[in-house]
Structure 1
């Protein structure tokens, strides 16, 4: 096969061997599941959007933090579309100030910004044309009349209303009289309902040395750390992991319904700085790897401090591959491989072994998808051990 063919791309499969870290607090099992929506509220198929972004109000269906995609329901066109986002994408509140991606949950009304050169969205902003009521318990739903009463006010809804319980799309018929709701609407109409029964909060304090870096909560939640970050999550037990400037670690915490669990990141700074024994594994000639702008020797172990690093891979006849690497393990291996655009490389890892194999490009949460439309999140996936990289220009 001619490696200069335009259909060929450079794919990096990140294979990471996670070692145990010092952990604080207690933990249980049965961690809540994130990242997959089982059903969509309309009959339309999910489309990977390459078209120009409009300014219509959209309802978030899913923010997939592993694949680095956002699926939204356009309230005007009634189409369900999937877009790419990246670390360059700004998450903004309705006033235009920076916000955490953790606040962009299913049911949130947003307006999407234009696309960057990478085809990722430039911004995802909470709509300032809608209203939101949280912690709603004094409601009645007249399903026959398509009416919702909140206190003394009455609102209407259509058959296309978006209803969620956690990350799952559900029917409005499933809402019980004792549930707690977050309701989003525009004027006198309701656009979405999120069932938040059983949710609690995580409050991060003393974040100064980690601001701007990333936090992982459980297996599927990733977000940028902002000062005094407060996020809502289903009750349960979580591993919370952070890393920046040579410091990092994992804290175990329990989140209880209606309560705020405080995590002091100042405690994580103790015992640092920490480093990772990182190896780029290259099995073919003509591949050059750059770490933070400097070429490195492939197949040799490097000592890299915990935190965020820039990785660039070049190969004769292939497009350059650029990603942000988030280092938060004692050792890691990054395997550089070449593949067709029509396939992706899925990697799994364990404590003492790793393997890589090629799989089809269909994602598990959509009726139709293609790898050339998806930019998988290799920036953070080294924290969870299932890693895929694919560059599409």
Structure 2
């Protein structure tokens, strides 16, 4: 009888344990589902920022054969150590070296450790004690200098440089000075060195970075245009913040007959403020037309007068006849109507003056929402949008996302939006405290995520 009761109790306990396990599994699945539904619409382009690396110090070889091929990510001259990211596994190794380590470039030229290129790709030979016996530049690697204007597709890990298409790894080393950054933090204004093997990019080094130009006091200039050197031409909007290349440039602003110019110096990660509040309202209605013509070098005349269209052409409001002639092309003729302060006119002479069909806009009516970092001010292609969380109207193409907040470093990201239907949601990493240096210059006057269905929530947005 006692044995039977014990058996019953054991049976009951087993059933309770099974029920408990089933309950735990149910709750965990429910939690995952809830979490997935909550995060399912979140696209985090900043998620590829390299985390604090877990460095593996335990690697040994025979000293005669390459132990691994890796990207030089850090040099510690005082400790006689280097760090390399293995291009095959993504593991970051800390490798000691000595004065006896044989260091050569890819062409067999002996080099000192101090002359090695951070971001360079090397074959590393580690001995049985774990020290570098030889470090040779990889003969299979390639390098491209002074690269700018790259397009990054984080969803497929593709990089486009002009007509060249390559891929990158999640652990591709991206460097800006002594800092490891996300590949999404590369913007059009950066100049960089890119290294890889075959069609894969394993390192990107920013050689000339970017800063920021804050433009204020533009009430009389809004709707006109601003040019920064000969590299950037933008429409002027209220409270704009321009991501600009490092260097000294002449900044020109124009809205009709109003114009002003000045020289500014943009420093890396610093903000220079330009105030145009002294510029008065323009009584004359004129617009600036920025012509983009194929082929380059075609001769243009407007209303019978030959013009130089290498910079925006100022025209009075109303209709104007445009003519273009070029060798081996049919003469192009078109009447344009100028009714805004600034517009870009694209002309392809192969169309012989007729309009060409364009791809349907599948983004119309959809929004891009930015949910993080909360409290930061959002700019899209230099235009002020609002304080995060906020949204803007969706349009396809490459966008420069700039986030600014008092007491934190201003930061820019590049995203590419496909010409597809559906809303998008982006969440960027939290801001880093410190704040950027800001200078003020006086003006001279004048001389991924799956797309979601249309949201029923109506928000105040701006079109980009």
Q: Which has the higher contact order (CA 8 A, sep 6+)?
A: 1
- TM-score category, normalised to shorter length: 0.3 to 0.5
Structure label with greater radius of gyration? 2
TM-score by length of 2: 0.32
TM-score under structure 1 normalisation? 0.38
